[in-house]
Chains A and B, each alone.
Chain A
Amino acid sequence: MTTSNYATERETAEGKVFTVTGGDWDQVVSGTDPINDERIVVNMGPQHPSTHGVLRLILELEGETVREVRSVVGYLHTGIEKNLEYRNWVQGSTFVTRMDYLSPLFNETAYALAVEKLLGITDDITERATTIRVLMMELNRISSHLVWLATTGMELGAISIMLYGFREREYILDIFETITGLRMNHAYVRPGGVAQDVPDDAIVKIRKFLKMMPKKLKEYEDLLSGQPIWTERTKNVAVLDVTACVALGVTGPVLRSAGLAWDLRKTMPYCGYETYEFDVPTHTDGDVWGRYLVRLAEIRESLKLVEQAVDRLAKPGPVMVSDKKIAWPAQLAIGVDGMGNSLEHVAKIMGQSMESLIHHFKLVTEGFRVPPGQVYVGIESPRGELGVHAVSDGGTRPYRVHYREPSFVNLQALPAMAEGGLIADVIAGGASLDPVMGGCDR
């Protein structure tokens, strides 16, 4: 046993006895600088109520000033990318929709676009299917930004906006439920088109929503924009300029709040976004305030897009490619328990047409084959560039699918935003990145 300075030992009849003494306090104190050495390490998370999802931050503090931030991610890693390799191409959409749970329709659309590019059927996707995709994505963008507004408000102490944001989001989720059968995790956008057409009562709901939402946005602005606490907490906080954003790979509203109008819907259009009329809002300060303004303005732009898409839906048409080797034969219908096969279709394959049954069986159990190769598709999700790198080896299952998740990439910027600032601004800065950990960790 080693002897310690703090506990001298001596042998007695009862055994070894230690005498514990303290060091000389003066000696201990003289070695430190009480002003500059007072650094403490604070562990924030992984379950802190003020962090988005299960994010852990290790902060090194000097008083209230943050000297170093290290983020620890991975708590929500579910191995979705690996799981995809054991399911066929169509089943993939049910998995990817669960990645970033606040923007499921973007995950699905990006995946569908990648598979279609691999199949070489990008130009065969019907106009109506593309319009429905745009409609769903823009509604989803609004709902995602509303959650951002709600959670960020809550994190900065504005509890009312939290309630309002979630209230309006629920309205959009209700529209989703009418169209896809589910509030979240829709698996609605499939390779080749969408699962089924938009029902008429959904159009009525969307029209009502379009009328209601501008008033609500006005309410949010009345509540927050002029409020001194909100401006104090957001202006000049967590600043990140364009150079830093590009170097760190940050895209989306954060990049646009710094002044660069980089929006893939405009710069590298997909899904026919070049035929819609909308603007890309920017701001120049690159702070939390700017990101707040950009996101609110983006909701307005999305409303414009939704309106245009709904108008285009007046023209009927197919929502799936005509190739029966890719399009699922099931004419899906919404039942009380969600989306399922229509009774009409079941009656046909079970009672009338043996060929239809065989075809249905082959497509569902085996799936379609995708020619070997690799593609990368990037779309503008509410958080930035959502990229899908899909590789096929010619089989009925994906060989590899990688998601370039904006939440994952953007989170790297947190130390650059927060170091040197106050601990309270870590919350504001982190929230302004809008990370969704389900997407980040996949």
Chain B
Amino acid sequence: MTGSNDNSTGGVPVPVTPAGATSGAPAEYPPASPAGRGMFGVQGSGDVSGYGGLVRPRKPIEESPRPYGGYFDEVRDALEEAYPEFGDAIEKVVVDRGELTLHVRPERIAEVCQVMRDDLALRFELCSSVSGVDYLGAEERRLHVVYQLTSMTYRRRVRLEAAVSADDPHLPSVTSVYPTADWQERETYDMFGIVFDGHPNLTRILMPDDWEGHPQRKDYPLGGVPVEYKGAEIPPPDRRRSYQ
């Protein structure tokens, strides 16, 4: 577990240049531990205790073996039957904590959603949620778009996940299949900078139109200023010593 990320500085973490926002964000450094690095999250203080160098490895997500149990096998079989390109489009099937996740190749996401909605054995009529997760440092295609589909007919839930890289954050919009994805894709674009091709009006929704950067990305600083409390100066949350 113990080890240093950067041998050139003798294991002592050095400040990283700010990333993400160029305006409106007062924090100087990105979050202490975007990739599970550093037990105390302290940076640039010359802390040589060694805690700052701890790296927690992140295990890659593994494909689950069959049978999955529950309705998961039925869903997979139905999708395989209804969608001939299943092998090409689905990268991984993961069952964890009683939830089924289909990892879909990003360019296929709209097709898969169409089949998931229209096939009589699947019938995922409702797209409950679309959002993003940034796995910075864990993988090349770090930006994941997560779709939570609900079948009201069969009372089932399935999660679709599509991963894109930050250099080419493009994937088709699912608004033509699920109109409710409209605002949720806009929010995901706003927060993660993921571009949904074919979206009717992909603009920022929560942040101001002229905002720079995408706040939910892990290399975007939290921001904040130090405050005085009973004579002591308390640093902003992302600059405090804390466990990771």
Determine if A372 and B58 form an interchain contact, defined as CB atoms under 8 angstroms apart.
yes
* B56: A residues at CB distance < 8 A: 393-395
* B187: A residues at CB distance < 8 A: 408
* A82: B residues at CB distance < 8 A: 215-216, 222
A262 sits at the interface (CB 8 A):
yes
State A368–B150 Cα separation when bound (angstroms). 31
A36 sits at the interface (CB 8 A):
no
A248 sits at the interface (CB 8 A):
yes
Per-position binary interface string of chain A over residues 78-115, scored 1 when its CB falls under 8 Å from any chain B CB and 0 otherwise: 01011101111000000000000000000000000000
A343 sits at the interface (CB 8 A):
no
Determine if A375 and B36 form an interchain contact, defined as CB atoms under 8 angstroms apart.
no
Scan residues 354-393 of chain A and give those whose CB is less than 8 A from a CB of chain B. Answer: 365-367, 372-376, 378, 385, 387, 389, 391, 393
Determine if A387 and B182 form an interchain contact, defined as CB atoms under 8 angstroms apart.
no
* B204: A residues at CB distance < 8 A: 74
Task: Tell me, rounded to whole Å, the shortest Cβ–Cβ distance linking B189 to chain A.
Answer: 13
Q: Given A120-B97, A248-B180, A389-B148, A376 and B159 touching (CB < 8 A)?
A: yes
B48 sits at the interface (CB 8 A):
no
Chain B interface (Cβ < 8 Å from any Cβ of A): 31, 33, 36, 56, 58-59, 96-99, 101, 125-129, 131-134, 146, 148, 150, 152, 155, 157, 159, 178-180, 182-184, 187, 204-208, 215-216, 222, 237-238, 242-244
Determine if A249 and B127 form an interchain contact, defined as CB atoms under 8 angstroms apart.
yes
Task: Tell me, rounded to whole Å, the shortest Cβ–Cβ distance linking A115 to chain B.
Answer: 12
* A250: B residues at CB distance < 8 A: 180
Partner of A389, one of B59, B131, B182, B216: B131
A-B contacts, 30 listed (Cβ < 8 Å): A73-B205, A74-B205, A74-B207, A77-B207, A82-B216, A120-B97, A246-B125, A246-B152, A249-B126, A249-B128, A249-B179, A366-B243, A374-B146, A376-B99, A376-B129, A376-B157, A378-B128, A393-B36, A393-B56, A394-B36, A395-B244, A396-B243, A396-B244, A400-B133, A402-B131, A404-B129, A408-B187, A409-B184, A412-B180, A412-B182
Q: Across the two chains, which residue of chain A brings its CB closest to B204? A: A74
Task: Tell me, rounded to whole Å, the shortest Cβ–Cβ distance linking A205 to chain B.
Answer: 36
Q: Across the two chains, which residue of chain A brings its CB closest to B217? A: A82
Q: How many residues of A contact B (CB 8 A)?
A: 52
User: Which of A82, A251, A365, A391 has the most B CB atoms < 10 Å from its CB?
Assistant: A82
Given contacts A77-B207, A394-B56, 4 further A-B contacts (CB under 8 A): A86-B31, A365-B242, A366-B243, A376-B128
* B184: A residues at CB distance < 8 A: 408-409
Partner of B129, one of A86, A387, A399: A387
* A347: B residues at CB distance < 8 A: none
Determine if B59 and A372 form an interchain contact, defined as CB atoms under 8 angstroms apart.
yes
* B206: A residues at CB distance < 8 A: 73-74, 77, 441-442
* A396: B residues at CB distance < 8 A: 243-244
State A247–B179 Cα separation when bound (angstroms). 6
Q: Across the two chains, which residue of chain A brings its CB closest to B187? A: A408
Determine if A267 and B155 form an interchain contact, defined as CB atoms under 8 angstroms apart.
yes
A397 sits at the interface (CB 8 A):
yes
Q: Across the two chains, which residue of chain A brings its CB closest to B240? A: A86
* B178: A residues at CB distance < 8 A: 247, 249
Q: Across the two chains, which residue of chain A brings its CB closest to B223? A: A79
* B242: A residues at CB distance < 8 A: 365
A118 sits at the interface (CB 8 A):
yes
Partner of B243, one of A77, A247, A365: A365
* A412: B residues at CB distance < 8 A: 179-180, 182-183
Q: Given A249-B128, A367-B243, A385-B128, A404 and B183 touching (CB < 8 A)?
A: no
State A32–B243 Cα separation when bound (angstroms). 68
State A176–B133 Cα separation when bound (angstroms). 35
Task: Tell me, rounded to whole Å, the shortest Cβ–Cβ distance linking A87 to chain B.
Answer: 7
Determine if B222 and A83 form an interchain contact, defined as CB atoms under 8 angstroms apart.
yes
Task: Tell me, rounded to whole Å, the shortest Cβ–Cβ distance linking B244 to chain A.
Answer: 5
* A367: B residues at CB distance < 8 A: 243
| A-B pairs with lowest CB-CB distance, top 3 | A249-B180, A404-B129, A402-B131
Q: Given A79-B215, A394-B56, A375 and B128 touching (CB < 8 A)?
A: no
State A246–B179 Cα separation when bound (angstroms). 9
State A374–B148 Cα separation when bound (angstroms). 12
State A248–B128 Cα separation when bound (angstroms). 10
Task: Tell me, rounded to whole Å, the shortest Cβ–Cβ distance linking A52 to chain B.
Answer: 17
Q: Across the two chains, which residue of chain B brings its CB closest to A396? A: B243
State A268–B98 Cα separation when bound (angstroms). 14
* A366: B residues at CB distance < 8 A: 243
Q: Across the two chains, which residue of chain B brings its CB closest to A76? A: B206
Determine if B133 and A391 form an interchain contact, defined as CB atoms under 8 angstroms apart.
yes
* A247: B residues at CB distance < 8 A: 178-180
Per-position binary interface string of chain A over residues 212-252, scored 1 when its CB falls under 8 Å from any chain B CB and 0 otherwise: 00000000000000000000000000000000001111110
A117 sits at the interface (CB 8 A):
yes
Q: Across the two chains, which residue of chain B brings its CB closest to A74? A: B206
State A222–B23 Cα separation when bound (angstroms). 56
Scan residues 45-83 of chain A and give those whose CB is less than 8 A from a CB of chain B. Answer: 73-74, 77, 79, 81-83
Q: Across the two chains, which residue of chain B brings its CB closest to A388? A: B129
State A250–B150 Cα separation when bound (angstroms). 13
Task: Tell me, rounded to whole Å, the shortest Cβ–Cβ distance linking A49 to chain B.
Answer: 23
Determine if A268 and B155 form an interchain contact, defined as CB atoms under 8 angstroms apart.
yes
State A247–B177 Cα separation when bound (angstroms). 9
Q: Given A83-B222, A394-B36, A389 and B146 touching (CB < 8 A)?
A: yes
Task: Tell me, rounded to whole Å, the shortest Cβ–Cβ distance linking A53 to chain B.
Answer: 14
Task: Tell me, rounded to whole Å, the shortest Cβ–Cβ distance linking B242 to chain A.
Answer: 8
Partner of A400, one of B33, B36, B134, B180: B134
Q: Across the two chains, which residue of chain B brings its CB closest to A402? A: B131
State A385–B128 Cα separation when bound (angstroms). 8
Determine if A86 and B152 form an interchain contact, defined as CB atoms under 8 angstroms apart.
no
Q: Across the two chains, which residue of chain B brings its CB closest to A248? A: B180
Determine if B97 and A118 form an interchain contact, defined as CB atoms under 8 angstroms apart.
yes
Partner of A397, one of B128, B146, B179, B244: B244
* B244: A residues at CB distance < 8 A: 395-397
